[in-house]
Amino acid sequence: MDFTTLLLVLDSTVRLATPLLLACLAGLFSERAGIFDIGLEGKMLMAAFFSAAVAYATGNVWLGLLAGIASSMALSAIHGLASITFRGNQLISGVAINFLAAGVTVVVAQSWFRQGGRTPSLEGASRFNPIELPLAESLSGVPLLGPIYHELVSGHTVPVYAAFAAVPLTWWILFRTRFGLRLRAVGENPESVDTAGVSVIGLRFAAVAIAGLLCGIAGAYLGTALQAGFVKDMTAGRGFIALAALIFSKWRPWHALYATLLFGLLQAIAVRFQNIDLGGFVIPVQFMEALPYILTVVILAGFVGKAIPPRAGGEPYVKER
């Protein structure tokens, strides 16, 4: 593999890792507060559709982004209602949200656009377009670092930079602010927070809302930046892969970045090399397609080590007997 190909693969790694990273951080906020969220997938899907649809209708990708975030947060509200207010099973609520998104997006897409459950193709201002960072063009001649800066660092869309910036921000919020301290406490021992006179319900709803926000950005990125429009089931398991990455990272922000980059790399390789010929034996394309899923299982199975989730995770908080 030559240098240019390597750069291309890494570049597409960054792009493919972005939705995973945003979803993973979304899951991180939610699970650190003690709410399991397997509805990341559905929230992203919902946001992908509504952002693409609104961006198409208005010609403004920013309005699309807002619509995406709003739709994703609406699903978060349902998850909060089910798992915080009514103390329901968080896994079941997540599954319901995934199906709700899968169904609603296609039903509404068909009703609005009549194109078999997709939005029309987006172009121009209704998409997030790549941003050239300063000096990228003029420095591209510099050996090694020039192309890296030009190809890899520069030329991405806003959500990509936002996702990467979200990593230190998440770390700072969790470990340096009062909100972060309380959030982590509520995921470990909600009684400690409750007896200290802080609302468990409020904190958990806040965490779930943040998860909705981040999934909204992730979905908008899928529908308006990574691809030019919404296609049925376009999230393709990314929400679940993000969850695996979350476990792999042991609920830590920087490790989440590394884990999602790893999964992004796998996807990039699978996209780039459809049929790998190993001297007579051809690895079938279906295997490459399944590879990220297989690796998710492998990582869950073995390389995680002892991952201790937040102690109160998945348990609804019951104060009165």
- For another protein, the binding residues in 80-109 under the rule CB under 8 A are 81-83, 86-93, 95-100, 102-104, 106-108
State the burial class of residue 216 (Cβ atoms within 10 Å of its Cβ: 0-12, 13-18, 19+): buried
According to CB under 8 A, which one of 198, 209, 228, 276 is a site residue for another protein?
Answer: 198
Taking the complex as a whole, the smallest distance from the CB of residue 224 to another protein amounts, in Å, to 22
Closest C-alpha among 186, 212, 213, 180 to residue 199? 186
Taking the complex as a whole, the smallest distance from the CB of residue 131 to another protein amounts, in Å, to 31
Q: Which residue has the tokens 């990228």?
A: 136
Closer residue to another protein in complex, CB, 26/160: 26
Q: Taking CB under 8 A as the rule, does residue 281 contact another protein? A: no
Closer residue to another protein in complex, CB, 134/197: 197
CA distances 138 to 134, 150, 274, Å, are 9, 9, 34
> Using an 8 Å Cβ cutoff, are 240 and 296 in contact?
yes
Query: Strands, DSSP E only, in 241-316?
Result: 276-278, 281-283
Taking the complex as a whole, the smallest distance from the CB of residue 297 to another protein amounts, in Å, to 5
Stretch that binds another protein, among 21-29, 57-65, 118-126, 284-292 (CB under 8 A): 284-292
Q: Which residue has the tokens 């509200």?
A: 77
According to CB under 8 A, which one of 188, 201, 252, 315 is a site residue for another protein?
Answer: 188
Name residues contacting another protein, limited to 108-127 (CB under 8 A): 108, 110-111, 114, 117
Q: What is the DSSP string of 94-138?
A: HHHHHHHHHHHHHHHHHHHH-SSS-PPPP-GGGS---BPPTTHHH
In sequence order, what are the residues at sequence separation of 6 or more whose Cβ sits closer than 8 angstroms to the Cβ of residue 172?
A: 180
For residue 288, what is the DSSP state? H
Q: Which residue has the tokens 């958990």?
A: 204
Q: Taking CB under 8 A as the rule, does residue 144 contact another protein? A: no
Q: Which helix (H) or strand (E) holds 222?
A: none
State the burial class of residue 321 (Cβ atoms within 10 Å of its Cβ: 0-12, 13-18, 19+): exposed
Stretch that binds another protein, among 52-60, 195-203, 205-213, 215-223 (CB under 8 A): 195-203
Q: Which residue has the tokens 């992004």?
A: 264
According to CB under 8 A, which one of 222, 247, 257, 268 is a site residue for another protein?
Answer: 247
Q: Taking CB under 8 A as the rule, does residue 176 contact another protein? A: yes
Q: Taking CB under 8 A as the rule, does residue 287 contact another protein? A: yes
- Please tell me the count of residues contacting another protein according to CB under 8 A: 72
Stretch that binds another protein, among 26-34, 49-57, 214-222, 286-294 (CB under 8 A): 286-294
Stretch that binds another protein, among 211-219, 220-228, 257-265, 282-290 (CB under 8 A): 282-290
Closest C-alpha among 209, 257, 179 to residue 69? 209
Q: Taking CB under 8 A as the rule, does residue 74 contact another protein? A: no
Q: Taking CB under 8 A as the rule, does residue 24 contact another protein? A: no
According to CB under 8 A, which one of 194, 209, 258, 315 is a site residue for another protein?
Answer: 194
Taking the complex as a whole, the smallest distance from the CB of residue 153 to another protein amounts, in Å, to 31
Q: Distance from CA of residue 320 to its chain's centroid?
A: 36
Q: Taking CB under 8 A as the rule, does residue 311 contact another protein? A: yes
Closer residue to another protein in complex, CB, 155/316: 316
Residue 89 identity (one-letter amino acid): N
Q: Taking CB under 8 A as the rule, does residue 266 contact another protein? A: no
Q: Taking CB under 8 A as the rule, does residue 32 contact another protein? A: no
